[in-house]
Amino acid sequence: AQRVTQPEKLLSVFKGAPVELKCNYSYSGSPELFWYVQYSRQRLQLLLRHISRESIKGFTADLNKGETSFHLKKPFAQEEDSAMYYCALSAWGGSNYKLTFGKGTLLTVNP
Amino acid sequence: KAGVTQTPRYLIKTRGQQVTLSCSPISGHRSVSWYQQTPGQGLQFLFEYFSETQRNKGNFPGRFSGRQFSNSRSEMNVSTLELGDSALYLCASSPGRMNTEAFFGQGTRLTVV
């Protein structure tokens, strides 16, 4: 069975500081990994996916298969980055692909 | 392109009642998934429908059920409501392939009193 673990429920940093949101997964095959973000009073939306290897809003995430991790990083946090972040894994769930989410990390960027 | 629409946005029900939530996916999307979001448990997968068939199911009791219609619209039903069912219920639609983005609705906030 697939599982996603986000060890930090809360993360608080100051504006301009680097930020790293941790994500570890367990899955025996080759999963697809995503980061979703939910800003205050907005719907959950895709931030980035590992397959596209792109940087969105200054965020990057590298899939480390050896450590089964997909940590989200940004070198200089901004106040508008304050949001709930969810790591997600898409993998075969028995009869179709299933998207499994971690419990989320609430990031607060202080001025 | 219209986004995922969930109705109603808010519901208040009493224990023991049943409730039906509705989700209209993005046009052309055949996969609809439902999630329960709570502060303590985060996002928990309920079930997923693809072309009117339930393809995956999470670890929820049988009181939670759903269905999908031929136009891909989906409904979720919860019977014999319990206080612990109070949550934000999110619907997500996607084309249904592995690495495609899931688009979420605004959710239905269910409060059981």
Q: Quick: pLDDT tens for B38-47.
A: 988 888 989 8
Query: Mean of the per-residue pLDDT values for chain B?
Result: 92
Phi, psi of A80 (to 5 degrees): -70, -5
User: Does A2 or B65 have the greater pLDDT score?
Assistant: B65
Asked whether residue B25 carries a pLDDT value surpassing 80, the answer given is yes
Q: Quick: pLDDT tens for A14-45.
A: 999 999 999 999 988 778 899 999 999 899 99
pLDDT number for residue A96: 66
CA distance A42 to chain B (A): 7
Q: Quick: pLDDT tens for A54-107.
A: 788 999 998 898 899 999 999 999 999 999 999 999 877 666 677 889 999 999
Contacts of A43 in chain B (CB under 8 A): 3, 104-107
DSSP string over A50-92: GGGT--BTTBEE--BTTTTB--EEESS--GGG-EEEEEEEEEE
pLDDT number for residue B105: 96
Asked whether residue B16 carries a pLDDT value surpassing 60, the answer given is yes
Q: Could you tell me the pLDDT band of residue A50, with boundaries at 50, 70 and 90?
A: confident
Q: What is the DSSP letter of A42?
A: S
B66 touches chain A (CB under 8 A): no
pLDDT number for residue A92: 72
pLDDT number for residue A15: 97
Cβ within 8 Å, pair B56-A51: no
A69 touches chain B (CB under 8 A): no
B30 touches chain A (CB under 8 A): no
Asked whether residue A48 carries a pLDDT value surpassing 60, the answer given is yes
Question: For an interface test with B, which of A9, A99, A101, A106 has the most B Cβ atoms less than 10 Å from its Cβ?
Answer: A99
Share of chain B above pLDDT 70, in %: 96
User: In the sheet that A60-61 helps form, which strands lie side by side, from edge to edge?
Assistant: A19-21, A72-74, A60-61
R_g of chain A computed on alpha carbons: 14
If we measure between CA atoms, which residue out of A99, A76, A93 comes closest to residue A20? A76
Amino acid at B83: L
Token output for A1: 């069975």
Cβ distance B105 to B6 under 8 Å? yes
Q: Measured between alpha carbons, how far is residue B69 from residues A86, B34, B35 in Å?
A: 29, 15, 19
| Averaged pLDDT for residues B58-72 | 94
CA nearest B101 in A: which residue? A46
| Averaged pLDDT for residues B38-65 | 89
First-to-last alpha carbon distance for chain B, in angstroms, is 37
Q: What is the DSSP letter of B84?
A: G
**Could you give the 3-state DSSP secondary structure of residue A109?**
strand
Cβ distance B34 to B66 under 8 Å? yes
Contacts of A52 (CB under 8 A, 6+ apart): none
pLDDT number for residue B18: 97
Amino acid at B91: C
Q: Quick: pLDDT tens for B79-92.
A: 999 999 999 999 99
pLDDT number for residue A51: 76
Burial of A30 (0-12, 13-18, 19+ CB in 10 A): exposed
